């Protein structure tokens, strides 16, 4: 069993020193560190940490916000850690400890609340879309070609002109013309 630390700051000018001191004091065997925004899901060092995990290891952070920016992201990262058979602890958030039954309960409740919130947002968004459609609002991106240009491009295509040539003349991709 190893205790593996993860330290993160958002910008290059910020320092990892305080986090590293706390993680070293907590007897971390190894510490992964990176300077990247927590909003990014493609954090290389976090991915490397998860890849290296073995059954019984514990991932340790100084605070929850060092691991994830949102509840959804936190739950995804914790699921990846759990899939490896490892646990998770936060020094600053005693309740966030998947190595105990109470910690797992708290994170399960948090996961349920996040899922509930996501469903509410999805329902409100869907209702808003339906109301907009009823008012005649056309959703999505504006077409790159006017109706006249579309008819003209179709006629040129039907006449045997090459799609890429037609597309170039309208400054669009050939796939835009082929979808017509």
Q: Model confidence over 29-72: pLDDT tens digits?
A: 999 999 888 777 789 999 999 999 999 999 999 988 888 877 77
Whether the CB-CB separation of 114 and 75 falls below 8 Å is answered with: yes
Residue pLDDT, tens place only, 27-40: 999 999 998 887 77
Cα separation, 170 vs 179, whole angstroms? 14
pLDDT surpasses 90 at 95: no
Note if 10 is an active site residue: yes
Q: Which residues, in sequence order, are bridge partners of residue 88? A: 59
Query: Where is pLDDT greater, at 36 or 154?
Result: 154
Of 10, 37, 70, 175, which residue is the catalytic one?
A: 10
pTM of the entire structure? 0.61
On whether the CB atoms of residues 22 and 62 are closer than 8 A, the answer is: yes
Delimit the domains of the chain by residue range. 3-110, 147-179
Q: What percent of the chain has pLDDT over 70?
A: 100
Confidence at residue 7, expressed as pLDDT on a 0 to 100 scale:
94
Q: Count other Cβ atoms within 10 Å, centred on residue 138.
A: 9
Alpha-carbon span 133 to 53, nearest angstrom: 49
The CATH number of the structural domain formed by 3-110 is 3.40.50.1390
* The predicted structure's pLDDT at residue 100: 87
Average pLDDT for 117-129: 88
Largest CA distance in the chain: 76
């Amino acid at each position: 069993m190893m205790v593996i630390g993860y330290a993160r700051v958002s910008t290059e000018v910020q320092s990892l020193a305080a986090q590293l001191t706390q993680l070293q004091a907590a007897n971390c065997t190894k510490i992964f560190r990176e300077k990247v925004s927590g909003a990014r899901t493609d954090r290389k060092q976090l991915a490397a940490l998860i890849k290296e995990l073995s059954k019984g290891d514990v991932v340790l952070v100084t605070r929850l916000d060092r691991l994830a920016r949102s509840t959804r992201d936190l739950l995804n990262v914790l699921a990846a850690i759990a899939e490896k058979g490892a646990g998770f602890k936060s020094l600053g958030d005693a309740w966030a400890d998947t190595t105990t039954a109470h910690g797992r309960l708290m994170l399960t409740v948090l996961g349920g609340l996040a899922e509930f919130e996501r469903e509410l947002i999805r329902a409100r968004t869907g209702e808003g879309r339906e109301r907009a459609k009823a008012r005649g609002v056309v959703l999505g991106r504006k077409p790159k070609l006017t109706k006249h240009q579309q008819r003209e491009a179709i006629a040129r295509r039907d006449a045997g002109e090459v799609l890429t040539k037609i597309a170039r003349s309208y400054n669009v991709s050939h796939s835009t013309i082929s979808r017509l």
